[in-house]
Chains A and B, each alone.
Chain A
Amino acid sequence: MNRDADLTGLLQAWSHGDADAIERLAPLVQSRLREMARRLLAGERLAGDWQPTDLVHELYLRLLDWRVIRWQNRGHFFSTTARMMRRVLVDMARSRRAAKRGLGEEPVALDSEIVVAPAVDVIAVDEALEALSRVDPRPSQVVELRFFGGFTVEETAETLGVSARTVINDWNTARAWLYRELSRRA
């Protein structure tokens, strides 16, 4: 279908260095994410079973047309997608923060069995991740892939060309590192 080819083409263009493509890509992705979020919260089960990782994969299936893409490899796709998600989600959080400033609006409670997690300030994570990437780029990529991209250890390992063990080690340490950073800021 057209709608996917469009988005996918933009993503690919972006991954190949067309910096402007993200400007046109982001609104499309945002609209699709909002739609997914509504379905999710309206209690619609996405296909298959319903663990968080499934939801994320389902998201990409709905978001992108895999067939029209000729990615260099799966890893290339994973890293581009994770980078896009990071960019879009952080942008959305920023504009929401700007819009809500002064309104004192409470975020809507997530009454869902699917997600049980402590609140995380995505903007702060993004900034701390930036700092981590200056320490060592790899752990920050691990977090980008896993947290923003929602990819598994295996997929992350494949993307970065390292072993699953390395990903798990980086992940453990990076989470502690970021947690410390965020606590310092708070």
Chain B
Amino acid sequence: MSTERWARLSEWHNAWLAADPAERERLRASLSSEHPDLVAEADELASASAGLAGFLETPAFLLAAPELATDPMLVPGTMLGPYRIAAFLARGGTGDVYRATDVRLRRDVAVKVLAPDARGVGDPQRVERFIREARLTASLDHPNIVTLYDVGLFDGRPYFVTELLDGETLRARIAHGPLTIEEVLRIGTDVARGLVAAHGAGSVHRDLKPENIFVTRHGPTKILDFGIAKRGIDDANHDGLSTLTGIVLGTAGYLAPEQVRGGDVDGRADLFASGAILFEMITGQRAFAREHTVDTLHAILHEPPAELLEQRHDLPPGLSAIVRRLLEKSPASRFQSAADLRAALEELATPALNPVPASSAESRTAMVSPRVTFEIGPRTEAPRTTHLAVLVAVILSAVVLAAAVSWFYRRDAALAPMATTSIAIVPFRSLPDSADAELLELGLADVFINRLSQLPDVRVLPLSASERLRGVDPREAGRTLGVDRVLTGTLQRERNRVRASVQLLSISEHRAIWADTFDADASSAFSIQDAIVARVLLEIAPHLSANTRARLVEPGTRNSAAYESYLRGRAQAAQITGPFLARAAESFRRAVELDPEYADAWAALGAVYRRLPLPGEVEPKGAFTAAERAARRALELSPDHAEAVSVLGTVAFFYDWDYPRAEELLRRAIAWQPSAAETHQYLAHLLSNLGRHDEALAEIGQARSLDPNLLIARSLEGQFLVMARRYEEALERLNATVQDAPRFVQGHVMRAYPLIALRRFDEAVRACDIAIELEGRIPPVAPVGARVFPSALRAYALARAGRHEEALAALERIRRMEAETRVRPIHVALVLHGLGRDTEALHELSRAVEGRDPVVTFLGVDPKWDGLRASPSFQALLSRANLLDVSNRVLGDLAGSSGR
């Protein structure tokens, strides 16, 4: 086969794709007469194209992503400096461990590469600190501490090179079955020796636990991860933030009481951990095992450990006394140094002094009390995360808001009238990270935003900004966004218990303004919440009315399932595209089903409904009336609900075409909720469509100041400039927008507006092509209806360029799209008007007015319709849309400017 053959085949195939059935018959007939040799293959391709949906449309990397994500990060053969990776050994909490060869020395080593972590790794300063600390540890040269050979950076991630050990972690050893007393003493003594050396060098481990102790097959036991494991805490301390954040989960059972309290820690904390480890080696059970982390922490602080002798009858009394002394709550009551512990253990291990009856290891194992049970390893039943996230959310929405509000107002009262404060909410991180919690985390962030945006004098960044901050260092985020305050925190859950650590950071002052930790369990979430709210409210300045306060802190429902649905819906609604909107509506509907008195959910449902008809796929009537009904229901339940009023304003604007009322409602909504970006956008739209261009631009400026990167606001700004007939400026802004966000479909579509107005039709066609191409590449996310518009705009530009045949063909294609989606008469009208077929255009327009298409509200100012402004039929339609005055003003201006 040749290139020529391909060209012919491809040409025919594409013609066939674009053809209707009758045409296809004809194409096939002409092919068999002209190129009979191609027919067989052409038929095959034609039938293959029927099953093609989506084939190769998704880039290969994205297809491979799920598998890539579970692979070990490095493949054998990869060089990290002089180390060649040989095999993947294990995956730990902080990174993957590999066997590798040092090619210079030809010796085998272990390499641990830190897992990518958006919060830590990647920040060069932090990486550097990390490495400095590790280098310090490398100076610890002791047989009971794993030898750190080297530290390096691979591809921006730190890695640690240690001696390669043969054996297993103590965690694995304990899981395999009971340890003999001899083993316990040997391992315990080895650990104590390692600690003596480390403490002597001024290094405290702080996270000693069975996972960090390695029992080699033939040699001594070694302590791992000195100076590595606990950087997280130190960083937190260093920066003056919450002390407990991040350390509780998982390792809580080995923390010393002074660590739990967040006080000063010295080597005696490692001795406490040694006690807990000895306890576990002896009994197979954790010393302070409780079902929930918070209970474990409580036990560490206040409860004595279980009596060892009751658990194991072969225990030398001396060992039991050692463990008891190590587990003393007060550091002063423990051994005062690792050397003392080592001496005590060595003494016990000396056979002559060992009071245990001499019997074989086997028989001693057999003497283990039957009451000893081994509950080690992962718990089988995973907690239901969503439910817990809701619980956290319930508490936080009350506590955090109350606290934040109280802070704002205390400041307000204490100082001179406060300048506008700006705040960003960084979505709370869940520990451990789980992808399924993301929706709820975003939903939660949006709830904060929604509530806080009701505060006067406070600029709250919308969710679009917050969403980008997931996993970003909060201070970095604050600087990037130019806000003064960042609200952030972490959520930890275990079974049906949650702990929320919350911080309000001041970016300029480099400090946490306040940080607090809140605990709750599932059964009492709402009552605990009430108690905390009551306490926090006491601090709130008296000038905040009881009503305002109540609105800010109330979760709005007492039904946690309804609240969950609501949070989910908010996260879904924050996405800009169709399927998400439908899902958001579904979530809100479920929320109001579960709790019909839930005003927030009703308002949110209305807010989703009002957006549905805008892309054009949904009939305006059903959606807007449903939106209005939902909003009215919300207002019955909560008479000053800003979001509900905003919905009513939008309906008055786009559906009732009652503009004065729409403006009044939207302005009222903004007064109640000054930082509601979406409402600012709708108001700006209204003002633009009424020809009040400067006001519109100021209003969209407000939305942009809330989130400078909000793409939709940038494209709207371009649109409003076009309506104001400031085409060059509009083009400039939109060029910048698509340059910054080349995949932003709306930006390209909007670019065609000024290009058409400037009679640069070919460029306009190209801009539409790009938009269509982009839309076509994302079939799963773009509503089909939204794709009609760029096509119509393109056809219109073609018509205006005088390329009538192409325009007609395009119009045909648009009409054919009716098979899969709703084609709006107003879009057909636009193309017809471009072709000069105004009678037909007016007919389509009257259908649009009949169907109350929201796009009709643009007719008053849109330059594309200038040619019809003088037409009586067009004016009749405008007056039905209450836009005749607006249009006549435009007409007057046009006459004025052309007369000049």
Contact = CB atoms under 8 A, between A and B. Distances in A.
Contact of A92 (B55, B64, B468): B64
Contacts of B46: 176
B358 interface: no
A51 B781 contact: yes
A17 interface: no
A170 to B, nearest CB: 6
Q: Which of B44, B77, B155, B770 has the most CB of A within 10 A?
A: B155
Contacts of B382: none
B63 A49 contact: no
A117 interface: yes
Nearest to B576: A49
Contacts of B1: 135-136
Interface stretch (B331-339, B673-681, B738-746, B790-798): B738-746
Interface string A106-142: 0111110111111110100100000000011011000
Given A27-B79, A116-B780, A173-B10, A109 B66 contact: yes
Contacts of A39: 116, 118
Contacts of B56: 120, 125, 143, 146-147, 175, 178
A46 to B, nearest CB: 9
Given A31-B155, A56-B62, A152 B13 contact: no
Closest A-B pairs by Cβ, 10 of them: A150-B59, A37-B68, A117-B58, A136-B6, A27-B78, A43-B438, A173-B10, A37-B69, A37-B65, A43-B435
Contact of B60 (A48, A96, A147): A147
Given A115-B65, A136-B6, A108 B769 contact: no
28 contacts: A3-B153, A3-B155, A24-B79, A34-B73, A36-B68, A41-B66, A44-B470, A49-B576, A53-B59, A53-B777, A55-B59, A89-B64, A93-B64, A108-B70, A109-B66, A119-B63, A148-B60, A149-B59, A150-B62, A152-B777, A164-B773, A168-B14, A172-B49, A173-B6, A173-B13, A178-B56, A179-B52, A180-B48
Given A45-B467, A108-B69, A117 B60 contact: no
A89 B73 CA distance: 14
Interface of A: 1, 3, 24, 27-28, 30-45, 47-49, 51-57, 59, 85-86, 89, 92-93, 95-96, 107-111, 113-120, 122, 125, 135-136, 138-139, 143, 146-150, 152-154, 164, 168-170, 172-173, 175-180, 183
B370 interface: no
Contacts of B433: 42
A107 B67 contact: yes
Contact of A51 (B54, B118, B743): B743
Contacts of B44: 180
Nearest to A118: B54
Interface string B320-334: 000000000000000
Contacts of A92: 64, 68, 71, 75
A134 B62 CA distance: 27
A92 B467 CA distance: 32
Contacts of A57: 742-743
A9 B852 CA distance: 59
Nearest to A116: B780
Contact of A40 (B7, B13, B65, B438): B65
A87 to B, nearest CB: 11
Interface string B443-474: 00000000000000000000000011011000
A152 B77 CA distance: 34
Contacts of A170: 10
A138 B6 CA distance: 10
A3 B127 CA distance: 14
A92 B582 CA distance: 38
B743 A108 contact: no
A113 B742 CA distance: 21
Contacts of B65: 36-37, 40-41, 110, 115
Nearest to B70: A108
A175 B62 contact: no
A139 B10 contact: yes
A147 B52 CA distance: 14
B777 A51 contact: yes
